[in-house]
Amino acid sequence: MSRHVDELMLGLDWLQNQGCVWDFNARTIRVGNKDFTLFDLKPNYRVRRVVLYDDATIPAFAQKIVKASTVYSRLKFDEATWATEAVEITRGVRVARALVKYSPNDVIRRVLGGSSRCRYL
């Protein structure tokens, strides 16, 4: 398991413990008494997310720097610099647009509190 990847990965120990049978010709996997059809997933290395590392309190009408980490939609990712979007993550709290250099753990983000009360993330 990795918090940096959100695709499903089944470990050999788990597959053996569940008595799984993988039929590559039929493109199915049997788990217990149920068959699941397998399909190709088109590579899309552009889906990336930045998630808050720890809980944070965003002051009213102020900004705060928070530490975050990245999550990729595929196991394979490049070491390119990429840009995030500015977005309102909850009412009255916006995350500023930023450039993110490849770094799974130490991503610094500026969060803006745009309401008259503190927000808890």
Q: What is the pLDDT along the chain (121 residues), one digit of tens a residue?
A: 555 555 677 888 989 999 999 999 999 999 989 999 987 766 555 557 788 888 999 999 999 999 888 776 665 556 777 788 888 888 889 988 888 776 666 788 889 998 899 999 8
Residues 61 and 103 in one domain: yes
Q: How many domains does the chain have?
A: 2
Q: Is 7 in the same domain as 62?
A: no
Residue ranges making up the domain that contains 87: 48-116
10 and 66 share a domain? Answer: no
Residue 28 lies in a domain: yes
Q: Tell me, yes or no, whether 36 and 52 share the same domain.
A: no
Which are the contacts of 22, defined by CB distance < 8 A and separation ≥ 6? 15, 28, 29, 30
Query: What is the value of pTM for the model shown?
Result: 0.55
CA distance linking residue 37 with residue 17, whole number of Å? 20
121 domain residue, yes or no: no
